[in-house]
Structure 1
Amino acid sequence: MPYARYPSLLDKVVFITGGGSGIGAAMVEAFVVQKANVAFVDVQVEPSRALAARLAASGQAPLFIPCDLTDLNALEAAMEEARQRLGPISVLINNAANDQRQDADEVSEEDWDRTMAVNLKHQFFAAQIARRSMREIGGGAIVNFSSSAWMIGVNGLSVYATAKAAVVGLTKSLAREFGPDNIRVNAIAPGAVITERQRRLWMNEQDIADYRARQCLKRSLVAEDVARMALFLSADDSAMITKQCFLVDGGLR
């Protein structure tokens, strides 16, 4: 099936966190297909290198920078490397996350801090850093990642859901503050996206069938569905859309 092409993304510098697998990898590939200049970071080195090599073979190589973005100094260094090698960042995709399950009674202060660091904290600081580049070029787009988990209520995800609810508040506040710089800030809240990680850790075939049954649209949600929303929110086609959180969930809620 042919999907939209976005001429405004041609040669734009796009920085994607957590781009080595799952939704992140789908977004890396989607932006590469649009002929954007893509940099991505991830802690998973081998899958990320394999992705970069596969896309390089198609003629548009993304730049992979190994990075643990819970280390804010490392995150800033990676974003600066991308800026130096590709140019000022005009699109930031704050995708990196970890939906590790844990019973609420077992959560320690260390667990709480780690979950906030990987699901929320870096989104603010990446946006702060990206704003500098976007000011240089007269504007840009930031897409933060929330989740439908905080809207639904999922066992074992109380801390994760708290972080993902906070992403919506962060998005609305940054949209207001960054608007005078012509920077749009939106969020995407994916539903039950069927990725390799979800299959391996959390979902069996019956679980997947149950999610499909609860959705209005009766097919499994995949990473590419989310990537297409990220393309639209990053392109000039959405030039007057900001301060919004878009559910991509097949009508699960």
Structure 2
Amino acid sequence: MNASSQPTIEQAVYPSLAGKRVVITGGGTGIGAALVSAFAQQGARVFFIDIAVKESRALEESLKECAVAPTFLHCNLQDLDALAATFVLIEKLAGAVDILVNNAANDDRHQVGDVSAAYWDERMAVNLRHQFFCAQAVAPGMREQGRGAILNLGSISWHLALPNLTLYMTAKAAIEGLTRGLARDLGRDGVRVNCIIPGAVRTPRQTRLWHNPEEEAKILAAQCLEQRVEPHDVAALALFLASDSAARCSGRDYYVDAGWYGA
């Protein structure tokens, strides 16, 4: 299959996901929107958190015919008080969370010399800190149930040492350590924690800001498979890892990058 071929999208059905209470951060656009759609189509009760109101409302409307329509909740994940209140609300509406997908992130570029202490703190809050505190919020309910799944979204970027992304790559590298720590600390209570590492995913934001034709050609040349990774490819992996089919998967990193080995 060449780069221009469009493969058929196949989505497995996981009976164990039906009725599960799922929280997805950054669910309004890009990979997050694909995650929301995929879990909703499994019959899960999905709550998705985002600051992009217009896009999130549109996604919510587009999925209203699902057996259980997803629910959008506006929250700035940098505000830890608002984050905590949002999870209290979710538990009040639906009960303990079964599956958490820590997807929210922002890969804005920067120059090393331009980074201030305030910008450092803001980038860590946007890309790393909330993943821990979201996990902390759902852990008591998961422990009480004796089961649960947490999926953290990492990035291929730091494995490739891409330019102008030092703070983003710092946060994403830390997420792999966070995943291992949480997997160990929560594993005795039946909670599984894994990290999904996407490659160069073709989202509207990436296409608009970074992936011009020249950059796309470089990406395809560096991948083993000469097809772009799409948001639904990431969602397909997330469904498996969240389901009972992955019952013995925890504390590990799972790549969906078309075999990208070059920068």
- Shorter-chain TM-score range: over 0.9
Equivalent position of 1:208 in the other structure: 216
Q: Residue 260 of structure 2 aligns to a residue in which SS?
A: coil
Larger CA deviation: 8-17 vs 132-141: 132-141
Equivalent position of 2:233 in the other structure = 225
**What are the Cα deviations for residues 196-234 of structure 1, in whole angstroms up to 9, with x where unaligned?**
000111111221122112110111111110011111110
Name the counterpart of 2:11.
Answer: 3
Q: Does 1:245 align with 2:253?
A: yes
- State the partner residue of 2:146: 138
Give the counterpart letter for 1:158 in structure 2.
T
Alignment of 1:13-24 (within 5 A): 13-24=21-32
Aligned to 1:64: 72
Equivalent-residue separation in structure 2 for 1:120 and 1:97 (angstroms): 8
Q: Tell me the TM-score normalised to structure 2 length.
A: 0.94
Shift of 1:150: 0.7
1:58 positional shift: 4.2
Q: Provide, for residues 76-107 of structure 1, a one-character-per-residue CA deviation record: whole Å limited to 9, x for no partner.
A: 11112111112210000000000000011111
Root-mean-square deviation over aligned CA pairs: 1.0
CA contact (8 A) 1:15 1:79 kept: no
Q: Distance in 1 between matches of 2:207 and 2:124?
A: 24
Aligned equivalents of 1:186 and 1:228: distance in 2? 14
SS in 2 for 1:56: coil
- Count of aligned pairs between the two proteins: 253
Runs of 4+ in 1 over 2 A off after TM superposition: 57-60
Q: Percent identity?
A: 48
Shift of 1:60: 3.2
- Show the counterpart of 1:129: 137
Matched residue, 1:162: 170
Query: 72-81 or 116-125: which moved more?
Result: 72-81
What is the CA–CA distance in structure 1 between the aligned matches of 2:188 and 2:247, rounded to whole Å? 14
Structure 2 gaps, min length 5: 1-7
Is this contact kept in 1: 2:40–2:66, CA < 8 A? no
Question: Is contact 2:132–2:178 with CA below 8 Å preserved after alignment?
Answer: yes
Aligned residue in 2 for 1:119: 127
Q: Give me the whole-angstrom Cα distance separating, in 1, the residues matched to 2:66 and 2:21.
A: 18
What are the superposed Cα offsets for residues 140-197 of structure 1, whole Å, 9 maximum, x if unpaired? 0000011011100111100100000000001001100000110000001111001000
Unaligned runs of 5+ in 1: none
